[in-house]
Amino acid sequence: MELNLNTCKQAWLSKDARFDGKFFIGVKSTGIYCRPICPVKSTEFKNLTFFKTAAQAGINGYRPCLRCRPETSPGTPIWSGTCAIVSRALRLIAAGELNNNKLPELACRLGITSRILNRLFITHLGASASAVARNQRLHAAKRLLDETDLSMIDVALGSGYGSLRRFNADIKHTYGVTPTQLRKSKTKNVHPDSSGHYVFKLPYRPPYSWRHMLDFLSTRATPGVEKVLNNEYIRTIGTQDKAGLIRVSCDQEKNQLVCHIGCSHTENLLATIEKIKSIFDLSADPQMILSQLRLDKKLWQQVKKNPGLRVPGCWNGLEIAVRSITGQQVSVVGATTVMGRIVKQYGTRLKTTAGVGYLFPTAHALADLDPASLSMPRARANTIAAVAQAVVSGQLCFAPGQDSNEMIEQLTRFKGIGPWTAQYIAMRALAEPDALLEGDLVLEKKAALLYGLNERMKTRELCERAEAWRPWRAYASMHIWNM
């Protein structure tokens, strides 16, 4: 994203939440960098400088503001002006790829050299890949210090530091105090709630259509694993040894989601937060998406009715793959019923009191399933088993940073998986914003209504029409689906 000085100035003056996380403001007189919505009294404009990312502000000698807490911003949308390689690298870094591995290994995974990767990062984000990773660890540590009562060693390990010494040194260098002193300086340290859950508040850029998000997740919720109840999303997480529960609600007045995370494996708290952000598409930039979709006048009439529509992500890529295969040629309700049976047969039973009591089956459990045991065509059950076997062997991966085109190509090689299924998996498991559900019956029928056709829009015609929606075809599809 190229920064426009006038836009930055107006966002700074108005404290506009739509720009939160899209850039950061450095105050020259104090050496502090803030979010555009920082409540601190404004200084003179001549004393300000603007940065694309928090990492860029950090390498220029600015330290994070303790009032607006840049570590809690929605973050820079990974497709805002970046190339595909940088977008993939950012997903991998967010997943902790550089916590245990070195930069050349990350670059190799992306098919380029570390020198080229750093050049791309500096061009698009104003900071090297290593600087972005270091900034992420620092922000993660600051957040755990502020919002949990974890021990210092747990904070260090949970935020991606390999040692307590490095953690202490980074905090002292950035904030000028030790981690213990930094935590004591907070008057409101957040502890687990009465149920033992940690509470995190995740901001988003408005508008956000929480009701439509819940409706989508509710009708497709896997019985026993997830559910929507009292305007709240609930699901089980973790493994049999380290199981937990998350509850997510929305505070629309403050433009944030409120997440209650209950689990015994506190070292995965931040990974859990990243997955929640993915499920609810919190990194999306509505203004950028709307500016492209409004170019299609017919579509825009539908889009402006609900400008806060997001594309739902998922907790588990394999779970979405199984769901999409199960849902072929059956209704949403029918697919949900079958998913519940799969969970009861192959999932892990837990003791919970929230109306959900199973962990979704592991890849190993589904790889060994008996096709005759499932109430679906045997060919479809065989496809589920084949996909699970590929995940177990490492031939198929739904991890962050996976190239969506490569994964779509891989998926369509499986007997029983066509373009629609592969695109749906890419849209939800990899957060692919340009996924187009080719051949989707509902999409083609509603598109025909939208564009005034007498019969269902043909797949070829839909693909041609969708060229005007790039790179946000998934969002356009969601708007048409919701007609």
Residue matched to tokens 């962990």 = 359
Let me know whether 169 and 258 are in one domain.
Answer: no
Domain that includes residue 116, residue range: 84-184
- Which position has the higher pLDDT, 187 or 176? 176
Q: What is the mean pLDDT of residues 174-187?
A: 83
Percentage of the residues of the chain whose pLDDT score is greater than 90: 62
Return the CATH number at 98.
1.10.10.60
Let me know whether 114 and 136 are in one domain.
Answer: yes
Let me know whether 156 and 229 are in one domain.
Answer: no
Lowest mean pLDDT among 58-67, 220-229, 259-268, 357-366: 259-268
Return the CATH number at 24.
3.40.10.10
Q: Give start and end residues of each alpha helix (H) in 282-413.
A: 286-293, 297-303, 317-326, 332-346, 363-367, 378-393, 404-411
pLDDT of 230 above 80: yes
Q: What is the mean pLDDT of residues 59-75?
A: 91
pLDDT of 266 above 90: no
Among residues 157, 184, 211, the one where a domain terminates is 184
| Residue 409 lies inside a defined structural domain of this protein | no
* Torsion, CA 294, CA 208, CA 445, CA 469, rounded to 10: 30
How much is the pTM? 0.88
Let me know whether 64 and 31 are in one domain.
Answer: yes
Let me know whether 27 and 103 are in one domain.
Answer: no
Q: What is the mean pLDDT of residues 44-48?
A: 90
| Residue 244 lies inside a defined structural domain of this protein | yes
Q: Would you call 100 exposed, middle or buried from its count of C-beta atoms within 10 A (0-12, 13-18, 19+)? A: exposed
- Which position has the higher pLDDT, 366 or 88? 366
User: Which one, of 49, 58, 63, 27, lies nearest residue 126 by Cα?
Assistant: 58
CA dist 180 → 151, 155, 168, 200, 269 (Å): 10, 11, 9, 20, 20
What pLDDT is recorded for position 173? Answer: 92
Q: What is the mean pLDDT of residues 425-450?
A: 92
Let me know whether 36 and 56 are in one domain.
Answer: yes
Among residues 258, 281, 304, the one where a domain terminates is 281
Find residue 247's DSSP bridge partners: 234, 260
What pLDDT is recorded for position 93? Answer: 87
Q: What is the mean pLDDT of residues 159-164?
A: 90
- Which position has the higher pLDDT, 167 or 403? 167
pLDDT of 456 above 80: yes
Q: What is the mean pLDDT of residues 385-412?
A: 90
| Residue 358 lies inside a defined structural domain of this protein | no
What pLDDT is recorded for position 189? Answer: 43
pLDDT of 187 above 50: no
pLDDT of 410 above 70: yes
| Residue 245 lies inside a defined structural domain of this protein | yes
What pLDDT is recorded for position 186? Answer: 59
What pLDDT is recorded for position 168? Answer: 95
| Residue 336 lies inside a defined structural domain of this protein | no
Lowest mean pLDDT among 146-150, 338-342, 433-437, 464-468: 146-150
How many structural domains does the chain have? 3
Let me know whether 126 and 178 are in one domain.
Answer: yes
Residue matched to tokens 């404009």 = 45
Q: Which residues are catalytic?
A: 34, 440
Let me know whether 208 and 274 are in one domain.
Answer: yes
What pLDDT is recorded for position 374? Answer: 86
pLDDT of 476 above 90: yes
What pLDDT is recorded for position 235? Answer: 94
Percentage of the residues of the chain whose pLDDT score is greater than 70: 94
The CB density around residue 384, as the number of other CB atoms within 10 Å, is 24
**Residue 154, token pair as written in the block:** 């747990």
Let me know whether 113 and 63 are in one domain.
Answer: no
Q: What is the mean pLDDT of residues 352-366?
A: 86
pLDDT confidence of 403, banded at 50, 70, 90? confident
pLDDT confidence of 481, banded at 50, 70, 90? very high
pLDDT confidence of 195, banded at 50, 70, 90? low
